[in-house]
Structure 1
Amino acid sequence: MKRTLSSPIARWGVRVQSTVIAAIVVAVALGIGGAVTLYMLHRANTDAMYRSTARQAYQIATAITHGGPAAVDSDDLAPGAGVDVMQVLDEQGAVVVASPGAPTGAVTLAGYQSAGAGTVPADDSPVYADDVYIPGFHGEYCATAVTARYAGQRYSVIALDRASGIRSSEWTMASIMAVELPMVVILGAGAVYLLVGRSLRPVSRISRRVNEISASRLGQRVPVPEAHDEIRALAVTMNGMLRRLESSHDAQLRFVGDASHELRSPLTTVVGLLDLADDSHTAIDTETVRAVLLPEARRMQHIVDDLLLLARADERGLPLQRIEVDLDDIVGAEIARLKSSNTVVVEPHLAPVRVVGDREMIARAVRNLTDNAARYARSRVSLSLRADGDDAVITVGDDGPGIPEAQRERIFDRFARVDADRRQGSGAGLGLAIVREIVRAHGGSVAVAEGTGGGVDFVVRLPLSADDGPLEGRGRRSVLPQPIAGSAHGLDG
């Protein structure tokens, strides 16, 4: 039922909903205000008539108290000064004194008790009554009755004021309000409709501009209103989103272009050799397969594997096998591998450290960093491992040409290069991007710093396992000299 009732309202839109709500609020407020005003006006008029009739009744009662009914001045009985009819009744309810033109029979008021042919007050307290009707007289009256005593007799003094004119003015006021209230509600609703429409114009412009923006026109931006309100904040937020979309779209285009370029080179080599063999009707010799085809095929396989890993990281994160990993074993293996290559001088600085993570992934990240350092080093590569508070810190450094500070964050992008014209090495530019994804998946961070001996340092921080710290006294290798901050400046792996 709630869905059935709310759905039509929800389809009205913000402008119509605001107008309807404003109209309801104004109508209720004006209705309550008008009712209260009419009630207060009615009470004020009635109280004024009570005061005027009470004043005249007490004046007559005072005269009777001092000299009996005969002492009443005829001028005090004359209609006027807020009193139209005066009557003085005795205990039997007979009229003993009356104003000119007053009815001959006693006027009956609520709150009086019967006594003979007429009525007298039940006690000496005054009695007030409105909506009093006198037989033979037109309209309603407002009356006050008070008691006077003289010579052991009790008299009732009744003063009445015609209320028809005042009640007529009250009805006139109510009629005017009944006509004006809908008009005010309509005018208010119209004003709200126009104002809300004017306020929503920037939203309409934003909607039109967004509908005009396509994948080929992501450089456009929505108009930002001058007013510092929520719509301006919405426009600024949407422009920020469009900038991010444009940046992401450009990155995707660059990524596809770079991937195509990296795959084209080995694929061209393989296809060229196969075409040559097909044209010459000769078999490809084993040496060519080993020296050319197999390395190029493995290069393509390596690029495709890297792309698949990054795609998985983008889609749902890297799947990790969480076990205890001795980082010094991984870093030590890389040190041994570099030393066996005899291409660079390796400076190791290791402390035994253990973390919880995926051994294969961490080993892949460390290898990418060491390969990158060896590729760009002039003669020296440094590897260090230490515990720093709650983190394990791996530092890989080289003495290569270095990386400008402005480029140090960009080198972790896919296919990134410090110099787009420089194509040193055989890497595809994915190694450091993979390092960042692996480190992030482990809750760590990777950064680039100025090398202590020239070049650059790559610093990886990974959270330690809960019971970790330097593994002294556990049969591990001894702690070597203080580690060097460092890492390589290369951009691929």
Structure 2
Amino acid sequence: MQSTIIAAAVVTVALAVGGMAMLFMLHRANNEAMYRSTGRQAYQIAAAIERRGVPGVDMDDLAPGAGVDVIQVIDADGRVVRSSPGAPTGPIIEIDQAPHTYRYFDDVSIPGFSGEFCATAVGAEYGDQYFTVLALDRATGVRHSEWITGIILAVEIPLLVVVAAGAVYLLVGRSLRPVSRITKQVNEITATALEQRVPVPAADDEISTLATTMNDMLSRLENAREAQLRFVADASHELRSPLTSIVGILDLADDTDSSVDLPTVRTILLPEAKRMQVMVDDLLMLARADENGLTVNLDEIDLDDVVAAEVARVRSLGSARIRLHITPIRMIGDSDKITRALRNVIDNAVRHARSMVSVTMHAERDVAVVTIADDGSGIPVRDRDIVFQRFARLDVDRRNQFGAGLGLAIVQEIVRAHGGTATIGESDMGGATVTITLPLAASEVRDHTTPATTASGSVPEEVSVSPQTSQSR
């Protein structure tokens, strides 16, 4: 209804302005037509006076006709010296004498004549005498036609407004009817019924696009809710295992009135508590990343030193043989978070490798590329995106029973916070390859040909360092 009222108001204003403009132009065109006819006759008589004086005026020129009804020739003393038959004997209009001038008058009244007239006054000079030729044309018929036009517009405009308002009401109502159905359906959708969808009109228009967009939004909300429920369920499941161990031992100690011995604390309680602490820290990091994005403390770091230090740490544990090939690279990033991302990927590769893990690093244009590969059983193509999801679970060959499935999700968040990417492919050794690309930003790739060193200053075994041309970005 509001749209109909607005449309009716706009149409009314537009038609009213158009009608007044048309009446004004009609009035002006009528006046110009009358001024042309009276001016032509007055000029013809004035030209005759200037040639031969008043006696040179032909009586036929004074006769009414050809768009002129009344003519007067007035001398300098204000006397009418010539006039058309039946014209008043006195001057119809008091005019100052001025030769070779044209003046126009509207709404002129003539004593003894009905209606109004338009007049043209033309000055003439003969010898030392001045005359004014006044030609008048009756405007009553023209003004009557203008009034008739105005009345017709006054009747037509309201009718047109009513018709336009009715058409707008019907068309807008028909167009917005699908919106009403969509609104009704949306009001019925609750947080527990996100599987419902709004009806999509058959017409390919903006309403159809709106309905499709809303259905896409509902699909995303449904997926997000399902992901949230899975997340809560998985987090509860992962936390239940260490809590069960800890609570079970404490309940046993409480029931038997016996103290918990130190080996139990070291072998069961403390590892389970640390495992739960790490999981909670990981969940908090991911929650902060979801809410405000992961905060990174940018600084200039030597990425090759970070990679070498992580490889040295794993070697000290004797978990697997690691082959390392790195290029000295300096970049801008958060050293702690990049270290954590590399540690998660390398530890994951070590857990699932049969005997060998390969870590390589080099610069490609404006990014650093770190590749961690293993000779394990690999990851199927269909699951390579899934492993970056939180609490993602694959077969036991790729996940040990103590993992929570958050490691690669954290890697993804850290790499994304640095503007990079993390992808999984197949390694040359038959296992999986995780490739991390990190923008160098304002970094500098060093011109360095000496071997990279670990944090302790020693050259790690099986390390090869390739020279790299220095560049600034």
TM-score (norm 2): 0.81
Matched, 1:350 2:335: no
Matched, 1:471 2:457: no
Task: Give, in whole Å, the separation in 2 of the partners of 1:324 and 1:457.
Answer: 27
Name the SS for the 1:392 alignment partner: strand
Amino acid aligned to 1:431: G
Q: CA 1:90–1:278 in structure 2 vs 1: closer, same or farther (change >3 Å)?
A: closer
Matched, 1:36 2:21: yes
- Of residues 109, 130, 146, the one that matches 2:93 is 109
Name the SS for the 1:346 alignment partner: strand
Contact kept in structure 1, 2:304 and 2:452, CA below 8 Å: no
- More displaced stretch, 449-458 vs 329-338: 329-338
Amino acid aligned to 1:106: G
Q: CA 1:134–1:419 in structure 2 vs 1: closer, same or farther (change >3 Å)?
A: same
Q: Which residue of structure 2 lines up, in the alignment, with residue 141 of structure 1?
A: 117
Q: How many Å apart are 1:218 and its aligned residue?
A: 1.9
Name the SS for the 1:383 alignment partner: strand
Q: Which residue of structure 1 lines up, in the alignment, with residue 282 of structure 2?
A: 306
Contact kept in structure 2, 1:142 and 1:162, CA below 8 Å: yes
Q: How many Å apart are 1:412 and its aligned residue?
A: 0.7
Q: Which residue of structure 2 lines up, in the alignment, with residue 243 of structure 1?
A: 219
Task: Give, in whole Å, the separation in 1 of the partners of 2:124 and 2:277.
Answer: 122
Q: Which residue of structure 2 lines up, in the alignment, with residue 490 of structure 1?
A: none
Q: CA 1:81–1:388 in structure 2 vs 1: closer, same or farther (change >3 Å)?
A: closer
Q: How many Å apart are 1:91 and its aligned residue?
A: 6.6
Amino acid aligned to 1:35: M
Q: CA 1:96–1:273 in structure 2 vs 1: closer, same or farther (change >3 Å)?
A: closer
- Of residues 382, 400, 405, the one that matches 2:376 is 400
Correspondences of 1:167-316 after superposition (within 5 Å): 167-316=143-292
Matched, 1:16 2:27: no
Q: CA 1:263–1:139 in structure 2 vs 1: closer, same or farther (change >3 Å)?
A: same
- More displaced stretch, 239-248 vs 352-361: 352-361
Q: CA 1:16–1:152 in structure 2 vs 1: closer, same or farther (change >3 Å)?
A: same
Task: Give, in whole Å, the separation in 1 of the partners of 2:201 and 2:23.
Answer: 46
Q: Which residue of structure 1 lines up, in the alignment, with residue 353 of structure 2?
A: 377
Q: CA 1:220–1:70 in structure 2 vs 1: closer, same or farther (change >3 Å)?
A: same
Q: CA 1:339–1:42 in structure 2 vs 1: closer, same or farther (change >3 Å)?
A: closer
Amino acid aligned to 1:443: G
Task: Give, in whole Å, the separation in 2 of the partners of 1:151 and 1:342.
Answer: 134
- Of residues 159, 166, 191, the one that matches 2:142 is 166
Q: CA 1:107–1:181 in structure 2 vs 1: closer, same or farther (change >3 Å)?
A: farther
Amino acid aligned to 1:36: A
Q: Which residue of structure 1 lines up, in the alignment, with residue 34 of structure 2?
A: 49
Contact kept in structure 2, 1:351 and 1:386, CA below 8 Å: yes
Amino acid aligned to 1:109: I
Q: CA 1:420–1:414 in structure 2 vs 1: closer, same or farther (change >3 Å)?
A: farther
Contact kept in structure 1, 2:450 and 2:465, CA below 8 Å: no
Q: How many Å apart are 1:92 and its aligned residue?
A: 5.7
Task: Give, in whole Å, the separation in 2 of the partners of 1:41 and 1:417.
Answer: 85
Q: CA 1:97–1:349 in structure 2 vs 1: closer, same or farther (change >3 Å)?
A: closer
Task: Give, in whole Å, the separation in 2 of the partners of 1:328 and 1:420.
Answer: 32
User: What is the CA deviation profile of residues 88-139 of structure 1, one whole-angstrom value per residue up to 9, with x for unaligned ones?
Assistant: 5667655565555433x223335354xxxxxxxx425565433222223322
Q: Which residue of structure 1 lines up, in the alignment, with residue 456 of structure 2?
A: none
Amino acid aligned to 2:195: G
Equivalent pairs counted in the alignment come to 458
Q: How many Å apart are 1:37 and its aligned residue?
A: 2.1
Contact kept in structure 2, 1:69 and 1:97, CA below 8 Å: no
Contact kept in structure 2, 1:63 and 1:71, CA below 8 Å: yes
Contact kept in structure 1, 2:328 and 2:452, CA below 8 Å: no
Amino acid aligned to 2:95: G
Contact kept in structure 2, 1:16 and 1:193, CA below 8 Å: no
Task: Give, in whole Å, the separation in 1 of the partners of 2:105 and 2:258.
Answer: 129
Structure 2 gaps of 5+ residues are: 454-458, 467-473
Q: Which residue of structure 1 lines up, in the alignment, with residue 427 of structure 2?
A: 451
- More displaced stretch, 376-385 vs 217-226: 217-226
Task: Give, in whole Å, the separation in 1 of the partners of 2:43 and 2:54.
Answer: 14
Q: How many Å apart are 1:36 and its aligned residue?
A: 2.9
Name the SS for the 1:348 alignment partner: strand
Task: Give, in whole Å, the separation in 2 of the partners of 1:319 and 1:90.
Answer: 101
Name the SS for the 1:394 alignment partner: strand
Task: Give, in whole Å, the separation in 2 of the partners of 1:275 and 1:189.
Answer: 80
- More displaced stretch, 310-319 vs 195-204: 195-204
Matched, 1:368 2:333: no
User: What is the CA deviation profile of residues 378-433 of structure 1, one whole-angstrom value per residue up to 9, with x for unaligned ones?
Assistant: 22222223333333332211111111222212211111123499864321111111
Task: Give, in whole Å, the separation in 2 of the partners of 1:228 and 1:220.
Answer: 22
Amino acid aligned to 2:287: A
Contact kept in structure 2, 1:109 and 1:129, CA below 8 Å: no
User: What is the CA deviation profile of residues 62-104 of structure 1, one whole-angstrom value per residue up to 9, with x for unaligned ones?
Assistant: 898789759855x77665554444455667655565555433x
Task: Give, in whole Å, the separation in 1 of the partners of 2:130 and 2:309.
Answer: 126
Q: How many Å apart are 1:257 and its aligned residue?
A: 0.9
Amino acid aligned to 2:367: D
Name the SS for the 1:215 alignment partner: coil
Sequence identity of aligned pairs in percent?
57
Structure 1 gaps of 5+ residues are: 1-14, 114-121, 484-493
Q: How many Å apart are 1:310 and its aligned residue?
A: 1.6
Q: CA 1:334–1:193 in structure 2 vs 1: closer, same or farther (change >3 Å)?
A: same
Task: Give, in whole Å, the separation in 1 of the partners of 2:38 and 2:298.
Answer: 98
RMSD between aligned residues? 3.8
